[in-house]
Amino acid sequence: MKKINTNSNLYIIVYSTVMVVVVALLLAVAALSLQARQNANELNEKKESILASLSAADRSYDEFVEGHVLDAQGNRVDDGDVFTMLNDLQGSFDAGRYPIFEAEDGRVVIPVTGSGLWGPIWGYVALEKDMDTVAGIIMAHKGETPGLGAEIATAKYQSQFVGKKLFEGDEFVSVLLRKGGAKDPAHEVDAITGGTKTSDGVTAMLRTSLSHYLPLLRARRAAAETATAEVSNEENAEDNE
């Protein structure tokens, strides 16, 4: 039997090709076997962020929150999985589809997306039942500068947004990150020192993303005002009897 020349160019090429194919197959199998687990972890992370924005980390997402999709008029539509939409939230916005999450207690969580200094930023804004007051916010980023723009992802910075108002009367004003310090306690928070570009990105992200949900927010605010007026009229009627 002829001995294989392991030093020949042909042998080296064939051997290298076989090894590349084998390694590629092993990596593909490993990736496929881990895909389900990775998807589950990503889903759980999103659910945890939504609950965190509501300060409801001790609750079960499936029992406390329901996600659905709105159209441009604020009407609920059956059009895809909300969590799949979060993977390309800007694409969903561009297509006129707006995922939203409603808590059992009447609060809502709105996903937001934008651009920071070095890459994408995103998050979840929870609103009280008045559809005006910020109940909480969770923000994350892909590559903002540690100690500067990356501060948007810290609980300490995010706590400044709690209690801020999106509306001034009937006008939507969103929340502004002001360089040099907030001047309007109802609608502004301090911009990040040394993180002007990231702060501007958060301001733009909030205004642009939240504006997509104005039809729903305004409709519910009007309904709440009507209900309050009816209760007040009933109380007045009872007092006059």
Report the percentage of the chain scoring pLDDT > 70.
Answer: 87
Longest Cα–Cα distance in the chain: 115
pLDDT of residue 11: 67
Confidence of residue 108 (pLDDT cuts 50, 70, 90): very high
Considering just the CA atoms, what is the radius of gyration of the chain in Å?
25
Angle at CA of residue 165, ends 98 and 47, nearest 5°: 45
pLDDT of residue 225: 82
Q: For the residues of the chain, what is the DSSP string, one character each? A: -PPP-TTSHHHHHHHHHHHHHHHHHHHHHHHHHHHHHHHHHHHHHHHHHHHHHTT-TTS-HHHHEEEEEE-TTS-EE--S-HHHHHTTHHHHHHTT-EEEEEETTS-EEEEEEEE-SSSEEEEEEEE-TTSSBEEEEEEEESSPPTTTGGGGGSHHHHGGGTT-BSEETTEE---EEETT--S-TTTEEEPPTT-HHHHHHHHHHHHHHHHTTHHHHHHHHHHHHHHHHHHHHHHHHHHH-
Task: Give me the mean pLDDT over the 210-224 stretch.
Answer: 95
**pLDDT tens for residues 15-71?**
778 788 877 787 777 666 666 677 778 899 999 999 999 999 999 999 999 999 999
Q: Is the pLDDT of residue 179 over 60?
A: yes
pTM recorded for the entire structure? 0.82
Task: Give me the mean pLDDT over the 193-207 stretch.
Answer: 95
Residue 79 CA to residue 38 CA, distance in Å, equals 24
Q: Which residue has the higher pLDDT, 129 or 142?
A: 129
Confidence of residue 147 (pLDDT cuts 50, 70, 90): confident
pLDDT of residue 38: 73
